[in-house]
Amino acid sequence: MSQIFQVIGALLILIPFAWSTLGALDTSAPFYLWSNLAGGTALGVTAVIGHQWGFVLLESAWTLVAAARLINRAGFRAEPRES
């Protein structure tokens, strides 16, 4: 079961990446970002279970960047502080 979860996670990252590399998908498109978020999460969870800490770091960063871009696209930006 874990292998299937890993393959699905990898495909969720690799297919949109290939499309963006070929110019068929913008990297700021919601589909690209959501796929990266889901794929990174799936791979990160399996890495934690397998105690693969370098992979946990990679997938955590991948997931956090995708989440930050989605939050930014949704318009949730921090208000600048006044001095």
Cβ atoms of 6 and 46 within 8 Å: the answer is yes
Cβ atoms of 69 and 28 within 8 Å: the answer is yes
pLDDT at position 8 is 94
Residue 51 and residue 79: Cα distance in Å, rounded? 38
pLDDT at position 11 is 95
Q: Residue 79 in 3-state DSSP?
A: coil
pLDDT at position 66 is 87
pLDDT in tens, the chain (83 residues): 788 989 999 999 999 999 999 999 998 899 999 999 999 999 999 999 999 899 889 888 888 888 898 888 887 665 666 65
pTM: 0.78
